[in-house]
Amino acid sequence: MTEASETTQTEATGPASSAPSLAPTTAEVNRWRQDFPLLSAEVNGRPLAYLDSGATSQKPVSVLEAERNYYEHLNAAVHRGAHTLAAEATLLFEDARATVADFVGAQEDEIVWTSNATEALNLVAYAFSNATVGRGGAEAERFRLDPGDEIVVTEMEHHANLIPWQELVSRTGATLRFIPMAEDGSLDLDAAGSVITDRTRLLAFTHVSNVLGLVNPVEELVSLARAVGALVVLDACQSVPHLPVDVKALDVDFAAFSGHKMLAPTGIGVLYGRSELLAAMPPFLTGGSMITTVTMEAAEYLPPPQRFEAGTQRVSQAIALAEAVKYLQGIGMDRIAAHEDELGRRLLDGLGRIPGVRILGGQASGPRVGAASFDLPGVHAHDVGQFLDDQGIAVRVGHHCAQPLHRRLGVTASTRASTYLYNTTEDVDRFLAGVAQTAAFFGVTV
């Protein structure tokens, strides 16, 4: 191992994030796998080992059927027609909202449908922009930004939770600051206390790093924000699919996540926002379905969440997302977290034994999800990924939309394996054997 990954197994994996007794048996996981048609495929003549769920998850039959059933039996424009099909489609669409709200501990009117988490984060950023130029009236003043105001992010953010804030400060004259990473890859909480000041208006950070798999200390960060009266935006893309998440218990003001990372189709995302904050926010997109009265001079808008849902909505995708939530609830998020905890430990322990492998964030303690990124010095991540793909093993390579994080760790790209409820220890062991063969093939040594 390189110096950066010379840690004990306990230090590399951190304490257990879930009780081991909750973990499913091998037989249970194999039964779940049968619900996912694509997992029975072969790639390059080898059985598929899909370890790229951090990018997008596979879909169970029940989710595929839910979307197909909608189009075959209920397809109609929601919130627009008075006929039976429209009424039934609208009911199912709003039932989906209620299902997702319950899943994350929110109220129904606090769930806004978006195309993905990126759009959800941009929605909040543009609400600040619109408030700054006087849209939204007196209630929206709490979102107004002026020169001297500050937005704080972290050095480990996905670009979707960084670039919208970069653009926002460029439009408003505010300043963007960031909480740095410590040497072990975790957030430097000592530095956070000085970065977050009475000038901070908003703190935006990821719940779980999409590169490192580390679960960030939400309670401590929210406490720092609350002490200075700042709003909190949580990127929950890598937590909601893998961990029990209650947005009220976390005490965040906004949270964003994507359906395609949690067994649902692409094209559906979720923004959670506190009801009183959504009610004060000016809209982002405008047009049909989000208004009450329109004249040739002006318009009045519906209350949330419809205020933020302009145009024809993602009806089939929302219904399929609700079905995905039901599937996850049927297993239990605590059991999924326990299963991934075991797989994640196996990943990190195995990578730590392969000569030359540098585990990004491998020294950090604390809870993790079942994901790990690594570097083989002298071997480009794309070559690693191609070598594994030849063996039917699907992983993610590149900077994972987190260039500042990689730059901080001194690499341009890495290889990431990310697990989910349908992965087995065999998947992980095939991956580890493949990495060892890759290192040997390219002559990587300690």
Please identify every residue annotated as catalytic.
Answer: 401
CA 81 to each of CA 90, 208, 294: distance values in angstroms, whole numbers, following the listed order: 9, 41, 19
| Token duo for residue 32 | 């779940």
Per this entry, what is the length of the chain? 446
Look at residue 206 and give its three-state secondary structure.
strand
> Are the beta carbons of 60 and 422 closer than 8 angstroms?
no
Instruction: Count other Cβ atoms within 10 Å, centred on residue 75.
Output: 12
CA 311 and chain centroid, separation: 25
Angle of helix 84-103 versus helix 315-331 axis, rounded to 10: 40
Q: Tell me the CA end-to-end span of the chain in Å, nearest whole number.
A: 5
3-state class percentages of the chain: helix first, strand second, coil last, to nearest 5:
45, 15, 40
| Closest CA relative to residue 443, chosen from 378, 350, 362 | 378
C-alpha span between 155 and 160 (Å, rounded): 13
| Token duo for residue 257 | 């996540």
Instruction: Count other Cβ atoms within 10 Å, centred on residue 306.
Output: 19
* Amino acid sitting at position 99: T
C-alpha span between 404 and 381 (Å, rounded): 17
Query: CB within 8 A of 49, min separation 6: which ones?
Result: 392, 393, 394, 423, 426, 427, 430, 431
C-alpha span between 421 and 24 (Å, rounded): 9
Look at residue 151 and give its three-state secondary structure.
strand
C-alpha span between 188 and 217 (Å, rounded): 11
| Closest CA relative to residue 368, chosen from 399, 337, 394 | 337
| Token duo for residue 147 | 């020169």
DSSP string, 299-311: EEEPPTTGGG--S
